[in-house]
Amino acid sequence: MSQPARVSIFKGGGLIALKVRDFRLYWSGLVAQVMGQHMYQFSLGWLSFEITGSQAQLGLIHLCAFVPQFSLTLIGGVLADRIDPRRLIQGAQTLSAISVISIGLLALSGRVEIWHLAVGAFMFGLVNAVDEPGRASFFPRLLPKSHLSSGIPLISMAFGTSRMIAPSIAGFVIASVGAPPVFLLCALGMSVMISMLFLVRPAASSAGKHGSLLGNLADSLRYIRANEVFSRVIVAALLNATFLMGYIHQLPVFAKVVLDVDARGLGLLASAAGLGALCGLFTYPWLQAHTTRRNAIVYALSAFSSALIGVAVSPWFALSCTLLFVVGLSQAYFMTSCQVILQTLVDDQYRGRVMAVFTLVWGLVYLSGFVLNLTGSVTGPRAALAGSGVLVLSFVWLSLARCDALRRLVLPAK
């Protein structure tokens, strides 16, 4: 294991990446963007449940985001390997800002209806289908190869920090002055990212720009299938996303129905997971120094599943917050470990497409939210979440833990 993995994220780890001007500018824009995205997701869920009071309709809102994101992310990855991903990100965020402002104005006028929120969710999923593989392909070009494994936790930290702060801000704003100002803040965050992308100077890409879209896509899937480490890591991430990661979209139900708290309480529940994620990203270099790549993935995913089973049966708000802290911590360990493995080992010409397959995770989160809420409307939210947790935990120990390729994995030294 390389020496930089033994230092903290600020002493020789992430601090080195932040000393690179272009990465620092990009990272600050990313923080603003994902803050806006998490506030938007939170506000859509709360407003949907507030309007309808229906767990099933809340699930349908998440399904509207899932369909375009899951269907088009792989095409987004092909595009990221063929054209300038900076332009993809800027175009996607411009469209996203327009959509968010429109929802905000409708909410401000008091004319927002559930179908407006469904369209807003659909546009959000469509934008992410291009934006996420574009970002995964773009940011490695802002760093020297030797700094890549130091920069990846910082990219994850942007999401962990926003997951901690954004729901709390959105919850208190909604409780104080209503939902419309939240949507305008979301659009502001997206605009910051658009601006920062004009200022960075990425290294030239070695990605190929020929062949058909479907041919490029098929080639990337063969590439993943031929590498057992890639295929096992990606399957584990996608399975987890399908059945468990949508817990965040079930939290409005747990807040209002199970734990009997308002928007402030919901914000605290979501922020507990965000705080855990942030702590996980700060301590990730320590984890790398004290365990193998295989163990990091196996034990982190086990802890994630087990903690969500605990959330499902918890009768107390404080206990639920504590368990959600563990959820965030273990999710940060798992997702960051997966990304470090993939981004370090993937060939440059396949980077956009391979990372697009991995970023299907974020689209599947919406499917997971739909499945958990729809199942919960029949069985109850507790049974739905606990059952999904048992399913993922079983996969970890019956399949992932037995993978010899992961057990032998050693990443190349810098």
Q: Is the pLDDT of residue 1 over 70?
A: no
pLDDT value at 412 more than 70? no
Confidence of residue 12 (pLDDT cuts 50, 70, 90): very low
**Confidence check: pLDDT of 326 > 90:** yes
Looking at residue 163, its pLDDT comes to: 63
- The answer, yes or no, to whether residue 101 has pLDDT greater than 70, is yes
Q: Output b/e per residue, 288-326; b: 16+ Cβ within 10 A.
A: beebebbebbbbbbbbbbbbbbbbbebeebeebbbbbbb
Q: Are 355 and 133 in contact (CB under 8 A)?
A: yes
Judged against a pLDDT cut of 50, whether residue 176 lies above it is answered with: yes
Q: In whole angstroms, give the CA distance from residue 295 to residue 284.
A: 13
State the DSSP code for 20: S
The closest alpha carbon to 150, from 328, 10, 27, belongs to: 10
Percent of the chain with pLDDT over 70: 91
- Provide the percentage of residues in the chain whose pLDDT is more than 90: 14
**Per-residue model confidence as pLDDT tens digits over 343-369:** 888 777 777 788 888 888 877 877 788
* C-alpha radius of gyration, the chain, whole number: 20
User: For residues 126 and 83, which has the higher predicted lDDT (pLDDT)?
Assistant: 126
pLDDT at 9 over 50: no
